[in-house]
Amino acid sequence: SAAEQPPWDEGPFQPEAVTVRVPAKINLSLSVGPLRPDGYHELVTVFHAVSLYDEVIARSARGISLSVEPLRRDSDVEQVPADERNLAWQAAALLAEQCGVEPNVRLTIRKDIPVAGGMAGGSADAAATLVACDSLWGTGLRRDELHDLAAQLGSDVPFALHGGTAIGTGRGEHISPVLAATGLEWVIAVLDAGLSTPKIFEACDNQRRRNKVEAPSPSVHPDLMAALRSRDTAAIGRALYNDLQPASIEVLPEIGELLELGRAAGACGSLVSGSGPTTVFLVDGPLAAANVEAELRTSGRCRAVRRARGPVPGANIVNVR
């Protein structure tokens, strides 16, 4: 009888549910080159994973289904589609197709990463879904195979698997790790408005056209790399830059005012994250952090102000049952 069977005869362990935690990213630098024939911009960026997380739970089920809920009471989940438009859904479908398994999973996304904020929350959920379904279905892909699927899903998805601090090239999907300062402290201000990534890239192209500036060949500024190696927070703060920042400020001038406010309150660096509208402030020590946080909160312009540290690891399994 089953009760007498030794445990090693039970066959492979089939989990019922797998939970993966995945961080948000910011870009310490974002250098945007020319528009490519495929509609993407050639870029070089320094990705940095910070301690704001989403969780994705994958449970065995029939077919794909998806629900989205807030991870904390004040996390916001409005505007997040709960169907095949969600990149996490597409991630599950892609993995199943590539591995020749049935796409049977019930996905629950527990969100805390700001939505449409330029922190790659949707990409993070897709990366987490790949890791969770790979474990749930026992497909056992190698890291580089997961990376290839991630790149097919979106430019920011491979980094969400990877985490840490890393240079992204191509359209952002080629990742190489950077040995960099650890324990950086950030204050993150989330504006009420969302910005569309394609629109901001387009606004950047338009600004360049108006100003008769050629799109440069993208690069990482050597000052930033030196500062990251030296662990000199003030130098890192000075070296942060983002080619999309003027475009985001043009579309949403409040962004410029918030950046000023945070610097005046003692941040050693500030910039727009990705295509915005989230702004991030590097702070040196708890006093500056508290001061910047308080100023941003009392400005009344932010939907949320959060503290985070970086770098942190990428998508990670935190529970299997």
Residues serving a catalytic function are 25, 156
Query: What's the min distance (Å) between Cβ of 118 and ligand C5P?
Result: 11
Query: What's the min distance (Å) between Cβ of 147 and ligand C5P?
Result: 15
**CA 207, 208, 210, 211 torsion-angle sign:** positive
CA 121 and chain centroid, separation: 5
* Residues contacting ligand C5P: total by CB under 6 A: 12
What DSSP string runs through 70-128?
ESSTT---TT---STTSHHHHHHHHHHHHHT----EEEEEEE-SPTTSSS-HHHHHHHH
Q: Is 27 among the residues that bind ligand C5P (CB under 6 A)? A: no
Q: Is 155 among the residues that bind ligand C5P (CB under 6 A)? A: yes
Please select the residue that binds ligand C5P; options are 31, 104, 165, 197, rule is CB under 6 A.
197
Q: Is 198 among the residues that bind ligand C5P (CB under 6 A)? A: yes
- Binning the chain into helix, strand and coil, the percentages to the nearest 5 are 35, 30, 35
- Between the alpha carbon of residue 306 and those of residues 94, 114, 184, 245, 284, the distances in Å are 33, 10, 14, 20, 16
Q: Is 81 among the residues that bind ligand C5P (CB under 6 A)? A: no
Query: Is 292 annotated for ligand binding?
Result: no
Give the C-alpha separation, 116 to 299, whole Å: 21
Residue (136 or 244) nearer to ligand C5P, CB: 244
Query: What's the min distance (Å) between Cβ of 243 and ligand C5P?
Result: 11
Query: What's the min distance (Å) between Cβ of 284 and ligand C5P?
Result: 31
Please select the residue that binds ligand C5P; options are 201, 208, 228, 244, rule is CB under 6 A.
201
Query: Is 172 annotated for ligand binding?
Result: no
Give the C-alpha separation, 43 to 170, whole Å: 6
Give the C-alpha separation, 191 to 175, whole Å: 29
Residue (172 or 310) nearer to ligand C5P, CB: 172
Query: Is 17 annotated for ligand binding?
Result: no
Q: Which residues lie across from 270 on neighbouring strands?
A: 281
**Interaction site with ligand C5P (CB under 6 A):** 39-41, 43, 154-156, 171-172, 197-198, 201
